[in-house]
Amino acid sequence: MLRTHTCGELRAEHVDQTVTVCGWVDSRRDHGGLVFIDLRDRYGKVQIVFDPSQGDDLHNLAGSVRNEYVLKVTGKVVRRAEKDVNPKIPTGEIDVRSNHLEVLNASRVVPFEPGTLNPPNEELRLKYRFLDLRRPRLQELMVFRHRLTKLVRDYFDRHGFLEIETPMLGRSTPEGARDYLVPSRVHPGCFYALPQSPQIYKQILMIAGYDRYMQIARCFRDEDLRADRQPEFTQVDIEMAFVDREDILQTVDGLVAFLMQEIRGVQHPLPLPRLTYAESMERFGSDKPDLRYGMELKDIGDIAANCGFGVFKNALASGGRVRGLNAVGAAAKYSRKQIDELTVFVGDFKAKGLAFFRVTETGLDSPIAKFFGPEEQQAIIQRFDAKAGDLIFIVADQPKVTSAALGALRSRLGKELALFDPNEMHFAWILDFPLFSYNEEEKKWDAEHHPFCNPVPDDVGYFETDPGKIRATSYDLVVNGYEGASGSVRIHDPVVQQKVFDLLGIPAEEAEKRFSFLLEALRYGAPPHAGIALGLDRWVMMFTGCDNIRDVIAFPKTQKAADLLSGAPSNVDAKQLKELSIKIDEPKA
């Protein structure tokens, strides 16, 4: 080792010791006589003092270093005078009085200082990610990510799970997300697909007798990015055999309690709350509601049915619903202009309008209040448990639209009105999802979760009559409004599996071609099995209060899926393409 101690570990107890530390120059204060250098490593910062009495050579060298130079410094740890103690940093009671300095490497003038109080724009941070990653905040996040990952591994190890790696180069399967493809040199015209998840492999591991599997698995999906979505991301992938839904829920409940204990030092109450998909959509308009606050959706169809407002009546007459929510105390916080913005916002979710009522001491105040008699107004106030100063929003539309629009509005208002404690972690299970959803555009049924999800046994009769009614044995763990985990009991009966493929419109021969290895495996003694996958990046986000997934990934990609540090993706040599039998057909500009 070039050093005897890290910068961040030095304390008063080291006084009088001669130490050697290495690190980056965080800042330099040259007094002409005394030179102070704050030396930084990932453990912290320590102040080095260069005194002219140590000779001109050392002093001149110390004066010549610049920010982000890499130094090796030897010196004696000395206690600072009382008045010179810096209580803002853990090493503030001591200095290292240097008698030897080696510049291990110089640095160009950096485009931004890792020690800066407000970091620059993200484009620059990503281009110079090595500087960004020197920032204490990012180092903190990387350390936390390591720790969370380690705790997860520890938990599953203690419960007898085996970590088994599955291939990155796999077979492209239909449905699901767009695959990232990797051309095969040996098989011209053929491609591997990077895994969207290790789904089929882990099921085959169950069939192979590895009844408790886990993997910290990298997954790839070629879809557009979001604040919480990257094209490559990490799942904690889990599968168990000889279990039912309850076993998976309890296993993950236990993980949550373990993590909350280890990370937050709190005893999280178990079991985690459970609600059905139908209930969640009804009360919150979303299958991943943020349950740190209430503001539940209410139906006022019965009240609206008799009102004089045509928009509401027409919506009801055409099979729609009239639902809304109450933003408590928000009447004065939203101007007419801001409400207009919210109207545009719900328009993104196909809502044709957004009605509102300001609640006053005497009733409702709104451009449409005149369509509601005193009794109707009181009924609305009562339905929303409203009082003066509240602001009620109503959407009248097709049922799905009211859920989507109000669910999104609830989420936005929750943030804008700061209805939750950002440090709180709220976990809840969403159960009984529909197995299929009807795709209006393509006039076909789609799997809501994935095609290997077992139907609730009681519902299999609906395959022929009403597939939309079939419930799935799937479950999502919702954390603070994010989908934190998702899984299901799998199909282990090849006959049921075939039924699902049939309904999804995957012809038998097609299914046989694409999934033959799974279908074949199912025929050789498949145990009942179930599993789940946790979005590790999102869990790191939630535990650290980040609002963006890029901050918890060392080398993330931009919204256009580019890596600004390396310049990926890039063109490749004609020779490489030729070896792969690939010709580029660029789209016309």
Partner RNA sequence: GGCUCCGUAGCUCAGUCGGUUUAGAGCGCUGGCCUGUCACGCCAGAGGUCGCGGGUUCAAGUCCCGUCGGAGUCGCCA
User: Residues 5 to 44: which contact RNA by CB under 7 A?
Assistant: 27, 29-34, 36, 38
User: Does residue number 510 form part of the binding site for RNA (CB under 7 A)?
Assistant: no
Q: How far is the C-alpha of 427 from the C-alpha of 509, rounded, in Å?
A: 42
Q: Cβ(406)–Cβ(297) under 8 Å?
A: yes
Query: Is 107 one of the binding residues for RNA (CB under 7 A)?
Result: no
Pairwise CA distance, residues 407 & 280, whole Å: 10
| Nearer of residues 313 and 514 to RNA, judged by Cβ | 514
Return the residue matching tokens 């809502």: 351
Q: Which residue lies nearer to RNA by CB, 319 or 587?
A: 587
Q: Which of residues 533-572 bind RNA (CB under 7 A)?
A: 548, 550, 558-560, 562, 564
- Least CB distance to RNA at residue 530 (A): 14
Q: 322, 301 in Cβ contact below 8 A?
A: yes
Query: Rounded to an integer, what is the distance from CA 22 to the centroid of its chain?
Result: 36
Transcribe 87-130 into DSSP letters. TTSTTTTEEEEEEEEEEEE--PPPSS-TT-SS---HHHHHHTHH
Q: What minimum distance in Å lies between the beta carbon of 39 and RNA?
A: 12
409 near RNA, judged by CB under 7 A = no
Peptide bond into 231 cis (omega under 30): no
DSSP per-residue string spanning 381-449: HHHTT--TT-EEEEEEE-HHHHHHHHHHHHHHHHHHTT-S-TT---EEEEE--BSEEEETTTTEEEESS
Shortest reach from residue 540's CB to RNA, in Å = 15
Closer Cβ to RNA, 358 or 490, answer by number: 490
Minimal distance in Å, beta carbon 589 to RNA?
7
Helix ranges (DSSP H) in 439-557: 462-465, 494-503, 508-522, 536-544
Quick one: 81 or 495, whose CB is closer to RNA?
Answer: 81
Asked if residue 153 lies in contact with residue 160, where contact means CB atoms within 8 angstroms, the answer is no
Does residue 404 bind RNA (CB under 7 A)? Answer: yes
Total of chain residues touching RNA, rule CB under 7 A: 72
CA-based nearest residue to 266, from 491, 427, 428: 427
φ, ψ for residue 206 (rounded to 5)? -65, -45
Smallest gap from residue 229 Cβ to RNA (A):
6
Looking at 90, 92, 353, 399, which residue binds RNA (CB under 7 A)?
92
Nearer to RNA among residue 242 and residue 438 (C-beta): 438
The helix (run of H) or strand (run of E) holding residue 485 is strand 482-489
Q: Segment 138-167, which members bind RNA (CB under 7 A)?
A: none
The single residue among 69, 73, 95, 330 that binds RNA, judged by CB under 7 A, is 95
As given in the structure block, the two tokens for residue 530 are 């179930």
- Is 332 an interacting residue with respect to RNA (CB under 7 A)? no
- Decide if residue 212 touches RNA (CB under 7 A): no
- Residue of 20, 54, 67, 250 that binds RNA (CB under 7 A): 67
Instruction: Tell which positions 483-502 bind RNA, by CB under 7 A.
Output: none
Is 451 among the residues that bind RNA (CB under 7 A)?
A: yes
- Which of 66, 137, 185, 444 touches RNA (CB under 7 A)? 66
Nearer to RNA, 175 or 302 (CB): 175
Angle, vertex CA 312, rays to CA 384 and CA 410, nearest 5: 45
Is residue 99 close enough to count as binding RNA by CB under 7 A?
no
Task: Classify burial at 582, counting beta carbons within 10 Å of its beta carbon; exposed 0-12, middle 13-18, buried 19 or more.
Answer: middle
Report how far residue 487's alpha carbon sits from residue 542's, in angstroms, rounded to the nearest whole number.
20
Q: With CA atoms as reference, report the closest residue to 3 among 30, 43, 35.
A: 43
Q: How far is the CB of 52 from RNA (least distance, A)?
A: 4
∠ CA(559), CA(565), CA(571), 5° rounding? 80
Tell me the closest approach of the beta carbon of residue 536 to RNA, in angstroms.
Answer: 15
Contact letters (x/-) for RNA, 213-252, by CB under 7 A?
Answer: --------x-xxxxxxx-----------------------
Taking the complex as a whole, the smallest distance from the CB of residue 567 to RNA amounts, in Å, to 11
Least gap, CB of 176 to RNA (angstroms): 3
Q: How far is the CB of 249 from RNA (least distance, A)?
A: 19
- Range 263-322, binding RNA (CB under 7 A): none
Please select the residue that binds RNA; options are 3, 6, 15, 52, rule is CB under 7 A. 52
Shortest Å distance, C-beta 407 to RNA: 9
Please, which residue, 32 or 209, has the CB nearer to RNA? 32
Which one of 53, 306, 516, 581 is in contact with RNA (CB under 7 A)? 53
Q: Which CB, 9 or 448, lies closer to RNA? A: 448
By the 8 A CB rule, do 77 and 14 touch? yes
CB of 79 to RNA, least distance (A): 9
Residues 422-441 that bind RNA (CB under 7 A): none
Using CB under 7 A as the binding rule, whether residue 512 contacts RNA is answered as no
Contacts of 398 (CB under 8 A, 6+ apart): 315, 318, 319, 320, 321, 350
CB 544, min distance to RNA, A: 15
Q: Which is nearer to RNA, 120 or 254 (CB)?
A: 120
Bond prior to 569 in cis (omega within 30° of 0): yes
Which of the ranges 92-100, 148-156, 459-467, 516-524 carries the binding residues for RNA, by CB under 7 A? 92-100
Q: How far is CA 431 from CA 124, 250, 289, 428, in A?
A: 43, 14, 13, 10
Q: Which range in 85-93, 184-192, 521-529, 569-577 contacts RNA by CB under 7 A?
A: 85-93
Percentage helix, strand, coil, to 5, in the chain? 35, 25, 40
In the bound complex, what is the minimum distance in angstroms from residue 344's beta carbon to RNA? 8
Considering only 1, 57, 82, 83, the residue that binds RNA (CB under 7 A) is 83
196 is a site residue for RNA (CB under 7 A): yes
Using CB under 7 A as the binding rule, whether residue 136 contacts RNA is answered as no
Single-letter residue type at 92: G
- What single DSSP character describes residue 372? S
Q: How far is the CB of 362 from RNA (least distance, A)?
A: 37
Q: 66 near 24, Cβ under 8 Å?
A: no
